[in-house]
Amino acid sequence: MTREQLEGLSLPKHIGIIMDGNGRWAKKRGLERTEGHKAGADVFRKICNYGADIGIECMTFYAFSTENWRRPPKEVAAIMKLFRDYLKEANEREKENEQRGLQFHLIGEKKGLPADIVRNLDTLERDSADKKVMRVNLAINYGGRDEILHSVKALAGMAKRGEIKPDAITEEDIASHLFTAGQPDPDLIIRPSGEYRLSNFMIWQAAYSEFWFSDILWPDFTTDDLDRAILDYCSRQRRFGGV
């Protein structure tokens, strides 16, 4: 597969990726699950940079769900360490202005995340705010239902204060209080690992997304696979309920 095939096509503006299959990848190799997460983090780096190279405007990476706290504490701690390592590296690159024009955003609940991770996320968001090449949403401690709840609470507060009339609440009002406020919905959602579900990923925003599923485990996912998913997306006809 070559990048030339993508040229001239109308690429998805926003791609969401559910980075799944790390544990099974490790198990297949007789390794600890945490080794799978490490390998998955490296693939995240590659795919993120590649997305920026080919001109994708926004990518959302689902890294840790609000349900993933149910995992053994040792595994959760290992995943948090990988976030720490990545954020440290990204903040250093940012300082050296080598971050390839990536603008970072956390989508997810800060509450519940370790304080140092929140601090480093805040720094990265602030320092990368002027970058223009690609927006990167890091979905950490993210849940679609939690996000909608967040929006509903904000609107309920506004209604209580008389700032908005309940009858007048619109879909746009709900969307503008999600973590993704102001961003386009994902055009394409990719889920590897052979699971055919959203697992609470962008359930509001995915109303008209195209889906691309594959048996590939995330640590085996390559830039060719991303090309394939995009080419497949480009061959589809989106109707949004019209004809």
Where does this chain bind ligand IPE (CB under 6 A)? 18-24, 62-65, 68, 79, 193, 195, 197, 199
User: Which of 22, 68, 120, 200 is flagged as catalytic?
Assistant: 68
97 is catalytic: no
The smaller minimum CB distance to ligand IPE, of residues 34 and 151, is found at 34
Tell whether residue 62 is a contact of Mg ion (CB under 5 A): no
CB of 68 to Mg ion, least distance (A): 9
68 binds, among Mg ion, ligand IPE, none (CB under 5 to 8 A by kind): ligand IPE
SS3 content of the chain, % helix, strand, coil (to 5): 45, 15, 40
CB of 186 to Mg ion, least distance (A): 19
Identity at 72, one-letter amino acid code: P
Tell whether residue 225 is a contact of Mg ion (CB under 5 A): no
CB of 198 to ligand IPE, least distance (A): 8
CB of 102 to ligand IPE, least distance (A): 20
Residue 102's CB is within 10 A of a number of other CB atoms, namely 21
The smaller minimum CB distance to ligand IPE, of residues 70 and 239, is found at 70
Among residues 20, 94, 147, 210, which is the contact residue for Mg ion, using CB under 5 A?
20
CA distance 101 to 44: 16
141 is catalytic: no
User: Binding-site residue total for Mg ion (CB under 5 A)?
Assistant: 1
DSSP track, 73-108: HHHHHHHHHHHHHHHHHHHHHHHTT-STTEEEEEES
DSSP state of 227: H
12 binds, among Mg ion, ligand IPE, none (CB under 5 to 8 A by kind): none
The smaller minimum CB distance to Mg ion, of residues 19 and 226, is found at 19
The smaller minimum CB distance to ligand IPE, of residues 85 and 195, is found at 195
Strands (E) in the chain, as ranges, are 14-18, 58-65, 102-107, 134-142, 188-191, 210-213
Joined tokens for residue 187? 């055009």
Residue number of the CB closest to ligand IPE reads: 23
Residues 6+ apart with CB under 8 A from 151: 174, 175, 177, 178
CB of 164 to Mg ion, least distance (A): 39
- Go through 67-101 and write b for each residue having 16 or more CB atoms within 10 A of its CB, e for each that does not: ebeeeeeebeebbbebbeebbeebbeebeeeebee
- Binding residues for Mg ion, rule: CB under 5 A, are 20
Residues that are catalytic: 20, 68
